Structure 1
Amino acid sequence: MRKTLFAAVAVAMMATPALAQSYKFVIVPKAMNNPFFDFARDGCLKRAKELGNIECIYKGPVEHEPATQAQIIQDFVTQKVDGLAISVADVAAMTKSIAAASAAGIPVITFDSDAPGSKRIAYIGTNNKEFGTALGKQLLKLRPDGGKYAMISGGPGAENLAERVNGVREALKGSKWSEVPGSPSFCNDDPALGVQQMTDLRTATPDLAAIIPVGGWPMFAPEGFKAFASKSKKDIDAGKFTLVVADTLRMQLELLKEGYANGLVGQRPFEMGEKAMDTLLAIKKGEKVSDIIYTGLDIVTKENVAKMLK
């Protein structure tokens, strides 16, 4: 009787599938007050729920503060989480943080902003050089006549933003466009400061013909951006002043539709969050992953903005 019972239990155990191992993966943005990263968070949460054995933890500095980001990562290393996906605010600082995580046996990938010389295993996001080139080409298509232009960037230590700036310059090289001295200005991912810098640039160079923010920061303060653009609305409508802005969040699409900008070039942060979970899980399973995983771009003008809003 006892042998029969043991045999039945053994058969039942063999027939019951083993529960999948659960993991805690962390997605660390540059700044949590940047709505761009909300989409990466949402993609991470959605994919974690679909996978079932993943917990997506979303935490970063409230504002763009590389030192705070490094401390947050160190805290997660101490907690021995199962994987980290980081949008790199400062390459030098994050290279050290990534090395510390790697030494602790925690796999690290980057998303949105890379640290290519670090010990990260993969990068997920935009080809930032192509992104900048697309912004420059958009301006060139809208205004082949050229003029003076300026750029607004985020943090000076961010590799992805430096690549975008170089892409814009490469696209406009040899054209009738010339960059004003002091460009780009750095808003440190602060939307209000981004709007103020646009005003300052317009004041400093009255004949400024275009501004290209290589991130969506000024538009992330929609009322402030609208107030700025309203003062130049006649010039925008007449083709004398052009605004080509990075990213395609809903608030930006609405501003474009209302005529407060001329064009947008967008990324796909939701996909970045999704793919971050897939990639970290694959690494934990011992699978080989691609070093670079690009998520693509979207070009938006007044002709297709209504479609994008749907």
Structure 2
Amino acid sequence: MFASLPITRSGMKAAILTLFMLCLYAQMTSARPLKFSLISKDIEDVNFITAWRGCHDAALRNGDECLHMGDTQIGYFRGQRDAIHKAIDMNVDGIAISVTNSSFIAQDGLPKAHANKIPVITFDSDLENPDRHLRRTYIGPDNFEIGTRLAELLKSVRPDGARICIISGGRFDPNLNERIAGIRHTLRGTLPVPDDMPAPLHPPAALKGENGWREDERCPLFNRGDEELGLAQLSQAIQNPTLDFIVPVGDWLLGDTKRLSKIITASGPRAPKLFMATGSPTDEQEELTANGTIDGYVAIDFYRIGELVYRQLRNYALGQNVVIAEEPALQVRQSSALLDPESQPPM
């Protein structure tokens, strides 16, 4: 028979600490790597590739995985639906999606993710208001503000109004419609828009001369993210002698910068000014802006968006309901050649 030994208070603390450390070690060694799906509008788009790299690099630091899924612009929202189903079949720990057609994937795709208890967030392009209960949060820029910033650039050049042509991707892209809404509300002078106003499936009516601003009756032009079609539309629109500004709300025209420069140069000094929304500016884009090929842009940091997407998905996968409040900063630049016309190179 063994005699019982008294346990001191310090000994009890040491035993509890040892037990806690053993449990923590067991939890850490048994934890499996997490796997997330980032579903783009177009997996070949450089901005979405940049977002995936941000997600991938952040995941790699924790031994996790971020998969880039989706389709080219050919499949569009149906390709997104198929990617959601594939991600569910792979038993991913979370899904982030840049929405092309809110009502379509809200009816076919996202409900299945919820049934499988997979956390869903949106990035870059959010669901429309009626469908936002199907995602937990949105990561990305304020797309309405992007439109507002573009409109302010136009007003800085022509404060009394002008004729414009907007170029967009798809008619149902929520984020692009929000950018168009920002442009129209700002130029029309109908700001501020009430915070509780539902996001429209379509942006407000085209400008018809309010405050001197008017949209060409053939615009907006829609290219569904097709760079070739976007450049062809630019080539046609830039020959319109009544246009003062061409405003792509995405950066499809930058897929072939040599062709873009050729189109601008061939149109001569009276060509409409070009202002656009873009991803993180490249050195080549900066050069085009410096020499006046691009007259101004509002840029989005897609790499940072990807990092935040991973952090948010990981929070949810670990049972933490902390919502990341950070909004990626926008970069606004106007061509120095436009600010100083005498500095423009001869056409």
2:271 is equivalent to residue 256 of structure 1: no
Please give the alpha-carbon distance, in whole angstroms, between the structure 1 residues aligned to 2:72 and 2:287.
26
Q: Which amino acid aligns with 1:107?
A: P
User: Does 1:193 find its partner at 2:229?
Assistant: yes
Of 290, 294, 297, 2:330 maps to 297
- For 2:288 and 2:234, locate their aligned partners in 1 and report how far apart those are by CA, in whole Å: 16
Shift of 1:63: 2.3
> Corresponding residue for 2:27?
18
Establish whether residue 121 from structure 1 lines up as the match of residue 130 from structure 2.
Answer: no
Query: Do residues 245 (structure 1) and 276 (structure 2) align?
Result: yes
Change beyond 3 A, Cα 1:257–1:16: same
> Which deviates more, 261-270 or 64-73?
64-73
CA contact (8 A) 1:89 1:157 kept: yes
Given candidates 61, 74, 81, the residue that maps to 1:70 is 81
> 1:169 Cα shift?
0.8
Whether 1:44 aligns to 2:59 is no
Structure 2: tracts of 5 or more residues without a match: 1-17, 189-209, 338-347
CA distance in structure 2 between the aligned counterparts of 1:292 and 1:16, rounded to whole angstroms: 31
Please give the secondary structure, in 2, of the residue aligned with 1:265: strand
After TM superposition, the structure 1 = structure 2 runs for residues 60-99 of structure 1, keeping only pairs within 5 Å, are: 60-64=70-74, 65-96=76-107, 97-99=109-111
Query: What is the CA–CA distance in structure 1 between the aligned matches of 2:327 and 2:24, rounded to whole Å?
Result: 41
Aligned residue in 2 for 1:101: 113
Which ranges in structure 1 are unaligned for 5 or more consecutive residues?
1-9, 305-310
1:115 partner letter: L
Tell me the residue number matched to 1:7.
none
3-state DSSP of counterpart to 2:211: coil
Conservation of the 8 A alpha-carbon contact between 1:220 and 1:252: no
Residue of structure 1 equivalent to 2:343: none
Secondary structure class of the residue paired with 2:43 = coil
Instruction: Give the whole-Å Cα distance in 2 for the aligned partners of 1:21 and 1:295.
Output: 30
Alignment correspondent of 1:208: 243
Q: Which deviates the most, 251-260 or 87-96?
A: 251-260
d(CA) in 2 for partners of 1:61, 1:191: 15
Decide which of 174, 181, 184 is 1:166's aligned counterpart.
Answer: 181
Contact 2:43-2:68 within 8 A present in 1 as well: no
Question: Is the 1:83–1:280 Cα contact (8 Å) retained in structure 2?
Answer: yes
TM-score, with structure 2 as normaliser = 0.78
The 8 Å contact of residues 233 and 260 in structure 1, kept in 2 or not, is answered as: no
Given that 2:169 and 2:224 are in contact with CA atoms closer than 8 Å, whether structure 1 keeps it comes out as yes
CA contact (8 A) 2:93 2:118 kept: yes
Match 1:56 to one of 51, 61, 66 = 66
Q: Aligned with 1:100: secondary structure?
A: helix
Distance 2:156 2:215 in 1: 17
Q: Distance in 1 between matches of 2:126 and 2:298?
A: 19
Residue 288 (structure 1) aligned with residue 321 (structure 2): yes
SS at structure 1 position matched to 2:44: coil
The normalised TM-score by structure 1 is: 0.87
Letter in 2 for 1:193: L
Q: Quick one: which amino acid aligns to residue 266 of structure 2? A: K
Give the aligned partner of residue 204 of structure 2: none
Count of residues in Structure 1 that have an aligned counterpart in Structure 2? 290
| 1:212-249: CA deviation from partner (whole Å, max 9, x where unpaired) | 0000111222122111111234225xxxx311111143
Structure 2 match to 1:307: none
User: For residues 152 and 259 of structure 1, what CA distance do their matches in structure 2 show?
Assistant: 19
Aligned residue for 1:308? none
1:133–1:55 CA distance, 2 compared to 1 (3 A): same
User: 1:123, 1:293 within 8 Å by CA — same for their partners in 2?
Assistant: no
Q: What letter matches 1:39 in structure 2?
A: T
2-structure distance, mates of 1:102, 1:223: 45
CA contact (8 A) 2:250 2:277 kept: yes
2:6 corresponding residue in structure 1:
none
* Segment drifting more, 17-26 vs 206-215: 17-26
Asked whether the equivalents of residues 290 and 336 of structure 2 are also in contact (C-alpha less than 8 Å), the reply is no
Partner Cα distance (1:194, 1:111) in 2: 24
Q: 2:153 aligns with which of 138, 141, 160?
A: 138
- 1:17 deviation in Å? 5.5
Change (3 A) 1:54 1:231: same
SS in 1 for 2:244: strand
Deviation at 1:297, TM superposition (A): 1.0
